[in-house]
Amino acid sequence: MSGSKVVKARGFRWHGVAVKEYKPGADHFRGVTRQTLLGEGPGEEALDFLTRYFEVLPGGFSSLELHRHPHAVVVVRGRGEVVLGGETFAVEPFDCVYVAPETAHQFRAAGEEPLGFLCMVHRTRDRPRPAS
């Protein structure tokens, strides 16, 4: 099989993949966790990207930030909003979001269910910077 694999999911959690704090030691977000599904595991060094799952609890939000690298995001659970630059857009399952480089962005959960989304980024990327 040469390193290929399937990572099984149950209830928006993936078997054998640690649920991690969104940004350890930071306080400019609320109620966010992440799982890196592909790109950090053994045998995945050939991937030029990471596939991550973020979950934002009801009333929670990610940090408002920007950086030089782009993101590709697919919402898979719940409803919420994404801030892109100076605009805010409603998002729901199967909406796709492109976050262009140097665009301030933030994800916010709305409603009673967590907002869950898959996020793909380049393996080597710059660190986020706070946006105002």
> Tens digit of pLDDT for each residue in 17-29?
999 988 776 678 8
Is the confidence at residue 103, as pLDDT, over 70? yes
Phi, psi of 109 (to 5 degrees): -85, 145
Helix (H, G, I), strand (E, B) or coil at 56: strand
Q: Enumerate domains of the chain plus CATH numbers.
A: 9-123 (2.60.120.10)
Average pLDDT estimate for 9-35:
88
119 catalytic? Reply is: yes
Task: Supply angle C-alpha 105, 106, 112, rounded to 5.
Answer: 155
CA distance 128 to 132: 13
Report how far residue 114's alpha carbon sits from residue 23's, in angstroms, rounded to the nearest whole number: 18
Could you read off the pLDDT of 55-96 as tens digits, one per residue?
Answer: 999 999 999 999 999 999 999 999 999 999 999 999 999 999
Q: Which of 76, 119, 122, 130 is catalytic?
A: 119
What mean pLDDT value characterizes the chain?
Answer: 93
Least confident of 17-21, 105-109, 119-123: 17-21
What does pTM read for this prediction? 0.93
